[in-house]
Amino acid sequence: MPRSPSPVVLYEDNHLLVLNKPAGLATVGTTDRPSVYRWAGEYLKQKYNKPGNVFVGIVSRLDTVTSGVLVVARTSKGAARLSEQIRHSRMRKVYQTVVEGQLASDAGTLENWLRKDDAAHRMRVTRADRDDAQLARLRYRTLAQLHDKSLLEVELLTGRKHQIRVQMSAAGHPVWGDRKYAATTPAVGAGIALHSSVLELEHPTRREPLRFEAPPPAAWAALRLSP
Protein backbone atom coordinates (compact mmCIF):
# COMPACT_ATOMS: atom_id res chain seq x y z
CA MET A 1 0.00 0.00 0.00
CA PRO A 2 1.47 3.43 -0.93
CA ARG A 3 2.37 5.75 1.93
CA SER A 4 -0.31 8.36 2.63
CA PRO A 5 0.76 11.97 2.06
CA SER A 6 1.43 14.04 5.16
CA PRO A 7 -0.13 17.40 6.06
CA VAL A 8 1.90 20.59 5.83
CA VAL A 9 2.06 22.68 9.01
CA LEU A 10 0.92 26.25 8.33
CA TYR A 11 0.96 27.49 11.93
CA GLU A 12 1.39 26.20 15.46
CA ASP A 13 1.50 27.53 19.00
CA ASN A 14 0.58 26.23 22.44
CA HIS A 15 -3.12 25.98 21.59
CA LEU A 16 -3.37 25.54 17.82
CA LEU A 17 -2.03 23.43 14.99
CA VAL A 18 -3.14 24.59 11.53
CA LEU A 19 -2.51 22.21 8.64
CA ASN A 20 -2.86 21.97 4.89
CA LYS A 21 -4.44 18.52 4.61
CA PRO A 22 -3.76 16.55 1.43
CA ALA A 23 -6.56 14.78 -0.41
CA GLY A 24 -6.61 11.08 0.38
CA LEU A 25 -6.01 11.51 4.12
CA ALA A 26 -8.94 11.14 6.53
CA THR A 27 -9.38 13.64 9.36
CA VAL A 28 -10.18 10.87 11.83
CA GLY A 29 -10.43 7.13 11.38
CA THR A 30 -9.68 3.72 12.78
CA THR A 31 -6.46 3.23 14.70
CA ASP A 32 -4.83 1.21 11.91
CA ARG A 33 -5.48 3.75 9.13
CA PRO A 34 -3.66 7.03 8.51
CA SER A 35 -5.52 10.17 9.61
CA VAL A 36 -4.89 13.77 10.59
CA TYR A 37 -5.69 12.82 14.19
CA ARG A 38 -3.08 10.07 14.23
CA TRP A 39 -0.49 12.12 12.31
CA ALA A 40 -0.88 15.16 14.58
CA GLY A 41 -0.47 13.03 17.71
CA GLU A 42 2.74 11.48 16.42
CA TYR A 43 4.06 14.83 15.15
CA LEU A 44 3.52 16.62 18.48
CA LYS A 45 4.83 13.71 20.52
CA GLN A 46 8.08 13.53 18.54
CA LYS A 47 8.64 17.29 18.15
CA TYR A 48 8.16 18.10 21.82
CA ASN A 49 9.46 14.78 23.17
CA LYS A 50 6.28 14.12 25.11
CA PRO A 51 5.84 10.77 26.90
CA GLY A 52 2.53 8.96 26.50
CA ASN A 53 -0.38 10.34 24.53
CA VAL A 54 -0.74 14.01 23.58
CA PHE A 55 -3.97 16.00 23.30
CA VAL A 56 -5.32 16.37 19.76
CA GLY A 57 -8.70 18.07 19.52
CA ILE A 58 -10.57 17.58 16.23
CA VAL A 59 -13.05 20.46 16.17
CA SER A 60 -14.01 20.27 12.48
CA ARG A 61 -13.35 17.91 9.61
CA LEU A 62 -12.51 17.79 5.94
CA ASP A 63 -13.68 14.81 3.90
CA THR A 64 -10.96 12.33 2.97
CA VAL A 65 -11.29 13.34 -0.70
CA THR A 66 -11.07 17.08 0.15
CA SER A 67 -7.84 19.01 0.71
CA GLY A 68 -6.95 22.26 2.40
CA VAL A 69 -6.74 24.29 5.58
CA LEU A 70 -7.78 22.52 8.77
CA VAL A 71 -7.36 23.65 12.39
CA VAL A 72 -6.63 21.20 15.21
CA ALA A 73 -6.66 22.13 18.89
CA ARG A 74 -3.67 21.29 21.09
CA THR A 75 -5.46 21.92 24.40
CA SER A 76 -8.91 21.26 25.81
CA LYS A 77 -9.40 25.01 26.30
CA GLY A 78 -8.52 25.61 22.67
CA ALA A 79 -10.89 22.87 21.53
CA ALA A 80 -13.78 24.25 23.58
CA ARG A 81 -13.35 27.81 22.35
CA LEU A 82 -12.90 26.82 18.71
CA SER A 83 -16.00 24.63 18.93
CA GLU A 84 -17.92 27.60 20.32
CA GLN A 85 -16.85 29.72 17.34
CA ILE A 86 -18.12 27.04 14.99
CA ARG A 87 -21.46 26.73 16.81
CA HIS A 88 -22.00 30.48 16.60
CA SER A 89 -20.81 30.76 12.95
CA ARG A 90 -17.81 32.91 13.86
CA MET A 91 -15.31 30.76 11.94
CA ARG A 92 -15.19 31.72 8.25
CA LYS A 93 -14.52 28.93 5.73
CA VAL A 94 -13.90 29.59 2.05
CA TYR A 95 -13.34 26.87 -0.55
CA GLN A 96 -12.29 26.63 -4.15
CA THR A 97 -13.95 23.99 -6.27
CA VAL A 98 -14.10 22.97 -9.90
CA VAL A 99 -17.58 21.85 -10.93
CA GLU A 100 -18.97 20.31 -14.09
CA GLY A 101 -20.50 22.75 -16.60
CA GLN A 102 -21.23 26.47 -16.30
CA LEU A 103 -23.60 28.03 -13.80
CA ALA A 104 -26.36 30.30 -15.06
CA SER A 105 -25.21 33.13 -12.77
CA ASP A 106 -21.65 34.26 -12.03
CA ALA A 107 -22.52 34.60 -8.36
CA GLY A 108 -25.34 33.63 -6.06
CA THR A 109 -26.56 31.76 -3.00
CA LEU A 110 -27.73 28.14 -2.82
CA GLU A 111 -30.19 27.03 -0.15
CA ASN A 112 -31.36 23.46 0.41
CA TRP A 113 -32.70 21.27 3.17
CA LEU A 114 -30.53 18.22 3.76
CA ARG A 115 -30.81 14.96 5.67
CA LYS A 116 -28.30 12.25 6.50
CA ASP A 117 -28.60 8.90 4.77
CA ASP A 118 -26.51 6.83 7.17
CA ALA A 119 -26.95 3.60 5.22
CA ALA A 120 -25.46 5.18 2.08
CA HIS A 121 -22.91 7.32 4.00
CA ARG A 122 -24.07 10.46 2.24
CA MET A 123 -26.35 13.49 2.50
CA ARG A 124 -29.53 13.98 0.49
CA VAL A 125 -31.67 16.97 -0.41
CA THR A 126 -35.02 16.65 1.32
CA ARG A 127 -38.22 18.50 2.27
CA ALA A 128 -38.12 21.29 4.83
CA ASP A 129 -40.91 19.69 6.87
CA ARG A 130 -38.97 16.54 7.75
CA ASP A 131 -37.96 16.25 11.40
CA ASP A 132 -34.36 15.45 10.42
CA ALA A 133 -34.04 18.22 7.81
CA GLN A 134 -31.12 20.67 8.20
CA LEU A 135 -30.92 24.00 6.41
CA ALA A 136 -27.80 24.38 4.24
CA ARG A 137 -26.73 27.69 2.72
CA LEU A 138 -23.66 28.70 0.77
CA ARG A 139 -22.52 31.65 -1.33
CA TYR A 140 -20.52 31.23 -4.56
CA ARG A 141 -18.86 33.26 -7.29
CA THR A 142 -17.25 32.16 -10.53
CA LEU A 143 -13.50 32.71 -10.83
CA ALA A 144 -12.92 31.11 -14.25
CA GLN A 145 -14.64 28.79 -16.68
CA LEU A 146 -14.31 26.68 -19.82
CA HIS A 147 -17.09 25.04 -21.76
CA ASP A 148 -17.18 21.91 -19.58
CA LYS A 149 -16.08 23.20 -16.15
CA SER A 150 -16.14 26.19 -13.80
CA LEU A 151 -13.79 27.25 -11.03
CA LEU A 152 -15.77 28.65 -8.10
CA GLU A 153 -15.07 30.30 -4.78
CA VAL A 154 -17.57 29.07 -2.21
CA GLU A 155 -18.19 30.43 1.28
CA LEU A 156 -20.09 28.25 3.72
CA LEU A 157 -22.92 30.05 5.52
CA THR A 158 -23.83 26.87 7.42
CA GLY A 159 -21.73 23.85 8.27
CA ARG A 160 -23.35 20.63 7.09
CA LYS A 161 -21.71 17.32 6.21
CA HIS A 162 -20.79 17.13 2.50
CA GLN A 163 -22.58 20.46 2.07
CA ILE A 164 -20.79 21.84 -1.00
CA ARG A 165 -20.76 18.44 -2.65
CA VAL A 166 -24.48 17.74 -2.30
CA GLN A 167 -25.66 21.30 -2.96
CA MET A 168 -23.60 21.70 -6.14
CA SER A 169 -24.81 18.30 -7.34
CA ALA A 170 -28.43 19.28 -6.62
CA ALA A 171 -27.87 22.42 -8.70
CA GLY A 172 -26.78 20.25 -11.64
CA HIS A 173 -23.05 20.99 -11.27
CA PRO A 174 -21.33 18.18 -9.34
CA VAL A 175 -17.82 18.75 -8.02
CA TRP A 176 -15.31 17.49 -10.57
CA GLY A 177 -14.46 13.86 -9.85
CA ASP A 178 -17.08 13.42 -7.12
CA ARG A 179 -18.71 10.18 -8.28
CA LYS A 180 -20.52 9.85 -4.92
CA TYR A 181 -22.59 12.88 -5.87
CA ALA A 182 -23.24 12.17 -9.55
CA ALA A 183 -20.08 13.50 -11.18
CA THR A 184 -19.18 11.89 -14.51
CA THR A 185 -15.60 13.17 -14.47
CA PRO A 186 -12.47 11.37 -13.19
CA ALA A 187 -10.79 11.93 -9.83
CA VAL A 188 -8.24 14.70 -9.37
CA GLY A 189 -5.14 13.06 -7.96
CA ALA A 190 -6.16 11.34 -4.72
CA GLY A 191 -9.38 13.28 -4.33
CA ILE A 192 -11.98 15.55 -5.90
CA ALA A 193 -11.71 19.18 -6.97
CA LEU A 194 -12.71 20.65 -3.61
CA HIS A 195 -10.19 22.54 -1.49
CA SER A 196 -10.44 24.53 1.74
CA SER A 197 -8.52 27.62 0.65
CA VAL A 198 -9.14 30.14 3.46
CA LEU A 199 -9.88 29.74 7.17
CA GLU A 200 -10.48 32.73 9.45
CA LEU A 201 -10.88 32.35 13.21
CA GLU A 202 -10.25 34.03 16.54
CA HIS A 203 -7.31 32.78 18.56
CA PRO A 204 -8.78 30.85 21.50
CA THR A 205 -6.74 32.64 24.19
CA ARG A 206 -5.32 35.83 22.66
CA ARG A 207 -8.70 36.65 21.01
CA GLU A 208 -6.96 38.10 17.94
CA PRO A 209 -8.18 37.37 14.40
CA LEU A 210 -6.15 34.82 12.41
CA ARG A 211 -6.31 34.04 8.71
CA PHE A 212 -4.78 31.04 6.97
CA GLU A 213 -4.58 30.28 3.25
CA ALA A 214 -3.43 27.36 1.10
CA PRO A 215 -3.38 27.05 -2.70
CA PRO A 216 -5.14 24.14 -4.42
CA PRO A 217 -3.13 20.93 -4.89
CA ALA A 218 -0.69 20.60 -7.77
CA ALA A 219 -2.93 17.89 -9.25
CA TRP A 220 -5.42 20.61 -10.20
CA ALA A 221 -3.02 21.77 -12.91
CA ALA A 222 -4.26 18.85 -15.01
CA LEU A 223 -7.68 20.55 -15.16
CA ARG A 224 -6.09 23.45 -17.10
CA LEU A 225 -8.22 26.04 -15.36
CA SER A 226 -6.94 28.71 -12.99
CA PRO A 227 -8.28 32.02 -11.64
Which residues are designated catalytic? 63
Residues with Cβ within 8 Å of residue 9, at least 6 apart in sequence: 17, 18, 19, 43
Q: Which of 110, 113, 119 is nearest to 132 (CA)?
A: 113
Q: Which of 39, 43, 42, 78 is nearest to 57 (CA)?
A: 78
How many CB atoms within 10 Å of residue 103? 19
